[in-house]
């Protein structure tokens, strides 16, 4: 997925890599350099709790944020609820790409 801001100016990419058990989404900048990785849970149903996709460093040794499908909010409303956490000092373009990754995760795992 390409993320543009403003329209026509690519600021980053969200990719999907194959893994037998875990959804993994590398986050790349406009120059196609990998900067972060989003790693999802083995099971994305989340029947009783929020479903969390961790935003990790490249080597996946440290979590720097989280994209979460919020079950309680969805139970109370007729809309999907997502939370997005990241460091305040993260580049604004990377924040926008993570927001794009949130939309992609919703489409890939939670929409019928």
Say whether 71 sits in a helix, a strand or coil: helix
% of the chain surpassing 90 pLDDT: 69
Peptide bond into 6 cis (omega under 30): yes
Instruction: Give me the mean pLDDT over the 28-34 stretch.
Output: 97
pLDDT at position 39 over 70: yes
pTM of the model: 0.88
The answer to whether the beta carbons of residues 10 and 2 sit under 8 Å apart is yes
pLDDT tens for 40-57 read 998 766 566 789 999 999
Task: Count Cα atoms within 13 angstroms, Cβ side, for 48.
Answer: 0
Task: Give the separation between CA 54 and CA 67, rounded to whole angstroms.
Answer: 6
For the chain, first and last CA: distance in Å? 19
């Amino acid at each position: 997925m390409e993320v543009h801001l403003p329209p026509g100016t690519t600021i980053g990419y969200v990719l999907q890599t194959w893994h037998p058990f875990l959804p993994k989404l590398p986050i790349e900048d406009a120059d196609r350099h990998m900067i972060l990785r989003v790693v999802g849970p083995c099971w994305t149903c989340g029947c009783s709790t929020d479903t969390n996709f961790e935003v990790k460093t490249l080597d996946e040794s440290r979590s720097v944020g989280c994209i979460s499908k919020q079950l309680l909010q969805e139970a109370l409303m007729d809309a999907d609820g997502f939370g997005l956490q990241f460091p305040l000092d993260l580049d604004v373009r990377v924040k926008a790409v993570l927001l794009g990754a949130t939309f992609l995760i919703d489409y890939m795992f939670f929409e019928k």
